[in-house]
């Protein structure tokens, strides 16, 4: 989780009860962070986040303040 927090420019020492409800949307990841998986029930392809993916689409901002830290707001 520390890599995700650092990737989003959030202080890793932020208490878990504050960040537990944060959601990170797909706009924080690159296309390389996904792989395609077949959904057999619908016979469609689904993008799935790789286990190794770390959010990387951010801008420099004030650490510990997600709204100020990311170029795409975190989805709360």
Residues in Cβ contact with 56 at an 8 Å cutoff, skipping those fewer than 6 apart: 7, 28, 29, 30, 33
Which has the closest alpha carbon to 28: 6, 13, 2?
Answer: 6
- DSSP calls for 32-67: GGEEEEEETTTTEEEEEE-TT----------TT-HH
Q: Between residues 19 and 73, which one has the greater pLDDT?
A: 19
Tell me the pLDDT tens digit for each residue of 25-40: 888 899 999 999 999 8
Considering only CA atoms, which of 27, 34, 72 is closest in space to residue 53? 34
**pLDDT-based confidence at residue 70 (cuts at 50, 70, 90):** very low
Which pTM value belongs to this model?
0.64
């Amino acid at each position: 989780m520390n890599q995700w927090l650092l990737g989003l420019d959030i202080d890793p020492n932020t208490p878990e009860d504050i960040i537990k409800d944060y959601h990170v949307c797909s706009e924080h990841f690159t296309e390389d962070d996904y792989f395609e998986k077949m959904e057999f029930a619908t016979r469609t392809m689904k993008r799935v986040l790789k286990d190794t993916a770390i959010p990387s689409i951010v801008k420099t901002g004030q650490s510990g303040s997600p709204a100020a830290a990311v170029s795409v707001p975190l989805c709360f």
